[in-house]
């Protein structure tokens, strides 16, 4: 139905232009020597512009509409692609933020675990140090007791030897006297 409507309009436009051109020919034939009215000049100029616009419209409508339609579709596609890319980027950002927060939490847990391990190691080292000090004290005490006993034994032997010498000397003196 649309094509039929366009054909009728084109026929009407053609009939109108044919009528005007025939009427104007008769009108100008009567004047002669270029003394036409300014109103008729204006009407002819307007008619020429209308015919020119109609011809341009007829032949340029489809290419211009296709170009503008293609441009609009292209712009719409670009906007849709940009929106899709933005949504994807936002989703990726949300995912990265959740990963980062998970990694931050894991890092805090690792730091806390390392602190606890360090505290435990510190306590263990201190405890081992105390045990080592106690063992060294006991060992020193034992060595001191051993040295003391040895010194006492050496002193007893020396006293005994000296006593024996003194007794011998005393006996020799008494026997010599």
- 8 A C-beta contact, residue 42 and residue 8: no
End-to-end CA gap in the chain: 174
Least-confidence region, from 1-15, 98-112, 143-157: 1-15
C-alpha 160, offset from chain centre: 94
pTM: 0.39
- Which tens digit of pLDDT belongs to each residue from 26-56? 556 555 555 567 888 888 888 888 888 888 8
- Domain extent listing, the chain: 2-18+39-135
């Amino acid at each position: 139905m649309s094509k039929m409507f366009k054909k009728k309009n084109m026929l009407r436009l053609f009939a109108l232009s044919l009528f005007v051109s025939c009427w104007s020919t008769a009108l100008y034939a009567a004047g002669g020597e270029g003394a036409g009215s300014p109103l008729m000049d204006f009407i002819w100029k307007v008619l020429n512009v209308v015919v020119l616009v109609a011809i341009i419209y007829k032949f340029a409508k489809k290419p211009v509409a296709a170009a503008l339609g293609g441009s609009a579709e292209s712009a719409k596609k670009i906007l849709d692609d940009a929106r899709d890319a933005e949504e994807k980027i936002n989703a990726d950002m949300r995912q990265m933020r959740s990963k980062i927060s998970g990694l931050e939490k894991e890092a805090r847990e690792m730091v806390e675990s390392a602190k606890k391990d360090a505290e435990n190691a510190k306590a263990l080292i201190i405890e081992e140090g105390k045990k080592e000090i106690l063992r060294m004290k006991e060992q020193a005490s034992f060595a001191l007791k051993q040295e003391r006993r040895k010194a006492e034994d050496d002193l007893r032997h020396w006293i005994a030897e000296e006593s024996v010498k003194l007794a011998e000397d005393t006996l020799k003196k008494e026997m010599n006297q």
